[in-house]
Structure 1
Amino acid sequence: MMIKRIKLPKIEDRRGNLSVLEKDILPFEFKRVYYLYDVPSGASRGGHAHREQSEFLIALSGSFDVLIHDGTKKQTYTLNKPDEGLLIPNGYWRELDNFSSGGICLVLASAVFVEADYIRDFAEFLQFKK
């Protein structure tokens, strides 16, 4: 799997829009859902990679940046649409920052929380990528 933006179906209606996330949209079945909110200005989240787990991030409200490092180069993705998400497979370092006021990040994860799956030291991550 590669890092990939995925557009979600959007049903437009004068009463408000609706987006749907069904099991065939993601390349994994999610086992955990969590969300980040009330992130203070200037604060950063993430700062880790996963050995096995993959994730799909959606900006439900507002915006934020996702810095991705593949062990060689880095790229920044801005998420700011509730009908588009970012697929992050295992083996990528991620940092989330520049949260707008009211920014909410929804995360669908392929696994339940297991601390041993996290790589929280960047030097260790670079060794993992070799």
Structure 2
Amino acid sequence: MSIACENPEFRLLGDERGSLIAVEAHKDIPFAIARVYYIFGTKEGVERGFHAHKELKQVAVAVRGSCIMKLDDGSEQQDILMNDPAKSVYIAPMVWHEMREFSEDCVLLVFADQAYDESDYIRNYTQFLEAIEQQGKNT
């Protein structure tokens, strides 16, 4: 399955003192970083996401704990267990994403190529599928 085709794996550095991962735009992240945010303190049973972006590109990494990231491009779906701070998930534009099964200690860090813009969100799954279909007609 090719939904999560560009999953940057970060270079893990460290020694007996501990570990370090440095992340750089255009090197470890395939775009210029305009926004960074993180999700934490998610209560048991809570699911998040349930949207797609028209233009926004994102890279997500569980820097602590774990969760399941579901990606859906309108024709294929993929569940990815996020539980390694050296592995990430690239979320392309027009990919519906949902997160669930957060561990109590999960911290999900996200790098984005644009600042927050509510007009970039598609929050209704039926409208997402319609936009995908329309996009296919225009190509």
Equivalent positions of 1:6-17 (< 5 A) are 6-17=8-19
For structure 1, the 5+ residue unaligned runs are none
What's the C-alpha RMSD, in Å, of the aligned pairs? 1.2
User: CA deviation digits over 1:63-113, x for unaligned, max 9?
Assistant: 000001110121100110111111111010000110011101001011001
Normalised TM-score (structure 2): 0.90
Alignment of 1:46-57 (within 5 A): 46-57=49-60
Q: Paired residue for 1:27?
A: 30
Q: Which amino acid aligns with 1:41?
A: E
By how many angstroms is 1:5 displaced?
2.1
Output the CA distance in 2 between the equivalents of 1:64 and 1:31.
Answer: 24
- What residue is the counterpart of 1:97 in the other structure? 100
CA drift of 1:12 comes to: 2.3
1:13 deviates by 0.9
TM-score scaled by structure 1?
Answer: 0.96
Distance 2:21 2:128 in 1: 35
* Structure 2 spans left out of the alignment, 5+ residues: 134-139
Tell me the equivalent position of 1:114.
Answer: 117
Separation in 2, partners of 1:2, 1:98:
20
Paired-residue identity, %? 32
Higher-Rg structure is 2
Aligned partner of 2:132 in structure 1 is 129
